[in-house]
Amino acid sequence: MVPIRATTTLVGLLAWPASHSLSPPMQNAGFAALGLDWAYVPLPTPPERLGDAVRGLVATGFAGANVTIPHKTAVLDHCDEVEADAAAASSVNTLRIVDGRVLGSSTDIAALRAAFDAGGRRVLVLGRGGAAKAAAQAYRGAGAAEVVLAGRRDVGWPPSPEGFDAVVNCTPLSDEAVVTLTGHEAVVDMAYRPDGRETALVAAARAAGCACIVDGLDLLLAQGAVSFARWTGVAAPLEAMRAGLRQ
């Protein structure tokens, strides 16, 4: 149990549902490693109560929050200010509360951009939600030759990765590989399983011989480390957070 006192600084996770997330143990491991009197708590938030939840963060003195499915786009309407990259992507996954103002940004963009070199490459993004929008912004900003989004409701789903240099899964699907890989793609999977087992897409990428594979836990750590630094003002203790994530 993470000790929470009257002096504890709180950050949270706005999600629906929130029970599957590994962000709480990861972030709390980071706070503990640095001896910070901070705590990260899940805040299950149905879509129709998102505005109430954001106002509640301000009213109760939270320092900030992460935002995930299904709120990454809708939460923009509840921010007082949004960083340029996040605004262009219409996707926010990190909130900071400063002097009663809600500041939105996307640490997904930084994590996705660092996953592989997209310069001059054709990138297939699976999904059309907030995470997919962040991926499109990340790779267009990194100089990708083309970024194509394919949603689960699109005609012709699932798409073929033929002719693409990278496949980025921004859907929550973890039990099916979705696409048939050729073995030449870089594969990035934002989905993860709470028990730490490989997703079906990551397993398929390994079997196909893909040279660049980035799984959802690595991405969660990368974006979480940036969020940690933005909230606390200090560098994230990566090894402690990785241990908390995979325990």
Give me the amino acid identity at 152.
R
Mapping DSSP onto H, E and C, the string for 146-164 reads EEEEECCCCCCCCCCCCCC
Q: Are strands 101-105 and 94-98 parallel, antiparallel or unpaired?
A: antiparallel
Higher-confidence residue of 247 and 168: namely 168
Q: Tell me the C-alpha distance between 178 and 169, whole Å.
A: 9
Is 72 among the residues known to form the active site? yes
Instruction: Judge whether 95 and 102 are in contact, CB under 8 Å.
Output: yes
pLDDT in tens, 56-82: 999 999 999 999 999 999 999 999 999
- E-assigned strand segments in the chain: 9-15, 38-44, 64-67, 81-82, 94-98, 101-105, 122-126, 146-150, 166-169, 186-189, 213-214
User: Is residue 171 very low, low, confident or very high in pLDDT (cuts 50, 70, 90)?
Assistant: very high
Of the residues 27, 39, 72, 181, only one is catalytic, namely 72
Res 113 pLDDT > 90: yes
Indicate if the pLDDT at residue 246 is higher than 90: no
Ordered structural domains, the chain, with CATH? 9-106+220-242 (3.40.50.10860), 110-218 (3.40.50.720)
Report which of 141, 192, 145 is spatially closest to residue 164, judged by C-alpha positions: 145
Best CA proximity match to 116, nearest among 187, 42, 48, 172 = 187
3-state secondary structure of 39: strand
3-state secondary structure of 213: strand
In this predicted structure, the answer to whether residue 115 has a pLDDT above a threshold of 90 is yes
